[in-house]
Amino acid sequence: MAVTSTPALELERVSRHFEGRAVLSGISLAIAPGQIVCLLGQSGCGKSTLLRIIAGVDRPDPGGCIRMDGVEVTGPGRFVQPEERRIGFMFQDFALFPHLSVAENLGFGLHRLPAAERRARVAEVAGRIGIQHLLDCHPHSLSGGEQQRVALARALAPRPAILLMDEPFSNLDQGLREKVRRDTIEALRRSGTTAIIVTHDPQEALAVADLIVLMRAGRIEQTGTPFQIYDHPQSVYAAEFMGPCNRLTGIWSEGRIRTPIGTFAAALDLPEGALAVACIRPQALSIGPDGQGISARVVAKTFTGESEQIDIMVHPLARPLRMHSHTRIPMAVGEKVSLQLNGAQIHVFADDGAGECPEDS
């Protein structure tokens, strides 16, 4: 018989309303010890509110329940104060104390420990994060990446059961962001810390998470591993949010969606003649010389360094299809080509009548 551990964090039917507006609606979620979880979604979807409720700095509506290691911390008649929850919080702006040294910042949350034990703990966490050489410095003298590592070390110093991180890498430049993010995740995995990271960036979530929780308008749209949520989206919204898609509307007939560029099977229970939607990843498309597939024409090409983005017009579509290629495409703008499709990157859904997933502001 398989042995299952108690979840590090468990939420049941957590809701939150502000002035009659639902910000969170019936959130239920279980997080295993040591998991790195990304709460992913557009601004205003409720992910930061959920983080505050987990931390205990905001209270959910009556009726929901939150448990840590099987112990109820929020529920009917019970509310454990934030300082008693063993939860660490890493802020977007780092929130380091400018008048304190790095060592003093790291030791700030350890005031209950004897002085010698506090110094030992500061030295231990500084060594683990690799900032021993910064202990006598003050925050103003540090780079953005160094401040990020100090903030992480301070959050880990009290040995939190769960670390909450709200957009922790968004203030860093792109190149530095990727390095600091990689170093941070490695440190969390070495320490075995359960972490919940809020982000609006699907690429970041795919890169760091063991589990992605995609949120939409206060609800969970889909939960899964990065591979599951990208390769097997459960809705048009999830497919488009996790990466670029060409959306085609077609007619459902005999277990397939019929579109102007082909028919694609899917395991859907739809009535004959119903509208369905095919979401086609750009990498599902390829082109070759004219006469070897679906007749098309190149209408635009954009070189991005790692790949080439190519827009292809196919009659009778109203707008071009977009493809990505990591090899150089010799066809010029205006040239006739043939279009081929890789069905593994085509996802089919019932038409929910919604528009395309908007970009995050």
Band the pLDDT of 352: cuts 50, 70, 90.
Answer: confident
pLDDT digits (tens, 9 = 90+) for 24-70: 999 999 999 999 999 999 999 999 999 999 999 999 999 999 999 99
pLDDT digits (tens, 9 = 90+) for 267-276: 999 999 999 9
Band the pLDDT of 361: cuts 50, 70, 90.
Answer: very low
pLDDT digits (tens, 9 = 90+) for 281-295: 999 999 988 887 899
Band the pLDDT of 4: cuts 50, 70, 90.
Answer: low
pLDDT at position 356 is 52
According to DSSP, the residues that pair with 209 across neighbouring strands are none
Q: Cα 22 from chain centroid?
A: 22
pLDDT at position 344 is 76
pLDDT digits (tens, 9 = 90+) for 63-78: 999 999 999 999 998 9
Nearest to 29 by CA among 223, 177, 182: 223
DSSP H helical ranges for the chain: 47-55, 102-107, 115-129, 144-156, 174-191, 202-208, 226-231, 236-242
Please provide residue 277's backbone torsions phi and psi, each rounded to the nearest 5 degrees.
Answer: -125, 130
Distance CA 31, CA 196 (A): 9
**pTM metric for this prediction:** 0.90
Q: Cα 313 from chain centroid?
A: 32
Distance CA 208, CA 320 (A): 33
Could you give the maximum distance between any two Cα atoms of the chain, in Å? 79
**Mean pLDDT, range 141-167, rounded to an integer:** 92
pLDDT at position 355 is 53
Read out DSSP for 191-206? HT-EEEEEES-HHHHH
Q: Are 214 and 50 in contact (CB under 8 A)?
A: no
